[in-house]
């Protein structure tokens, strides 16, 4: 997968390359979401919105597949955001790390919304 962060006045756009449509799998999406989230967190973003419009093309109207792909985004992002810092020593002079706090998934239909909610519940 490939990422490209475009900076512009007031907003940023991160483009993810997943390859050819026929070769896109939930695992590729899971890995791309993890890569994107790590990059965004490293760039000190606190929130992000992900447009899942391309999943319509990949899923070809199959809401179950659409939900599976959205679930892969949630799972990849969740795994990438996990930090186990309990036993890490803290330097009082260091600023606390900036963590990504909010991910908004942009979807267009009620059917997609239902599929996404089910998949995210499974991914959690």
Which mean pLDDT values do the consecutive 10-residue runs of the chain (124 residues) have? Answer: 67 82 89 92 88 82 78 88 76 76 86 81 72
Output the pLDDT for position 10: 62
Output the pLDDT for position 9: 59
Output the pLDDT for position 67: 83
Output the pLDDT for position 22: 85
d(CA 86, CA 110): 40
The number of beta carbons lying within 10 Å of the beta carbon of residue 58 is: 18
Contact yes or no for 55/104 (Cβ under 8 A): no
Output the pLDDT for position 90: 74
Domains and CATH numbers, the chain: 2-7+24-84+98-123 (3.40.220.10)
């Amino acid at each position: 997968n490939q990422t490209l962060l475009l900076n512009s006045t007031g907003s940023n756009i991160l483009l993810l390359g997943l390859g050819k449509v026929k070769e896109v799998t939930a695992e590729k999406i899971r890995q791309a979401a993890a890569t994107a989230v790590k990059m965004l967190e490293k760039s000190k973003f606190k929130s992000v919105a992900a447009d899942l419009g391309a999943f319509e093309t990949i899923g070809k109207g199959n809401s179950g597949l659409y939900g599976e792909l959205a679930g892969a985004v949630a799972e990849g992002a969740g795994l990438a955001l996990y930090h186990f810092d309990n036993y890490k020593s803290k330097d009082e002079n260091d600023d606390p790390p900036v963590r990504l706090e909010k991910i908004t998934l942009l979807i267009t239909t009620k059917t997609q919304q239902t599929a996404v909610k089910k998949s995210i519940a499974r991914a959690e």
